[in-house]
Amino acid sequence: MMKLETADRRDWQGFTRILEVMAFLDEIEERSPDEVRDAVERFCELPPNPGQTMSMEEVVFWAGVASGIEFWRHAEDESTDSATSEKMLVFSSLFSHSMKNAIVDLALGKLDPDTQQNPWRKFKSRIG
């Protein structure tokens, strides 16, 4: 399972957007074409100053999306065999599931009142 740690408040914006896109993809079949089009328009809007406001997590996520689409095109053109395409799908699905859980774990860790009051509590003493 992935472990994500962040001290930068801006990173939360990236994780939120990533989780929002992933949730959208989970429900895409239940949405109308207009809802899909509107959501994609919103997701693909660049902020006014992307170099200052987009997190590295968002950039890596979108690079992964682009790579996945490109791989899908090769699978559709049968440039790759079905076993290879299936392996890539399974592998990427594992990471997708892991990413969702890591974001939830990160959010819950920030909300845990014991950790908030005493951040050193999670470290065990090596003395004795």
Assigned domain for 27 exists: yes
Residue 90 placed within a domain: yes
Residues near 86 by Cβ (< 8 Å), separated by ≥ 6?
none
Residue 67 lies in a domain: yes
State the pLDDT at residue 35: 96
| pLDDT computed for residue 96 by the predictor | 80
CB 85 within 8 A of CB 75: yes
- Domain assignment of residue 76, given as a range: 11-110
Average pLDDT of the chain to the nearest whole number: 77
In a domain, 2, yes or no: no
Contact 18, 58 (CB under 8 A): yes
Asked if residue 45 belongs to a domain, the reply is: yes
In a domain, 65, yes or no: yes
115 occurs within a structural domain: no
pLDDT digits (tens, 9 = 90+) for 29-60: 999 999 999 999 998 888 788 777 788 888 88
pLDDT one-digit tens code per residue, 83-113: 998 998 888 888 887 877 877 777 777 655 5
How many domains are contained in the chain? 1
The two tokens of residue 98 are 């892991």
Number of H helices, E strands in the chain: 6, 0
**Of 8-12, 23-27, 61-65, 72-76, the least confident:** 8-12
92 belongs to a structural domain: yes
* Beta-carbon-side half-sphere exposure of residue 86 (alpha carbons within 13 Å): 3
pLDDT at 34: 97
Please determine, for residue 125, whether its predicted confidence score (pLDDT) is greater than 50. Answer: no
pLDDT at 15 over 50: yes
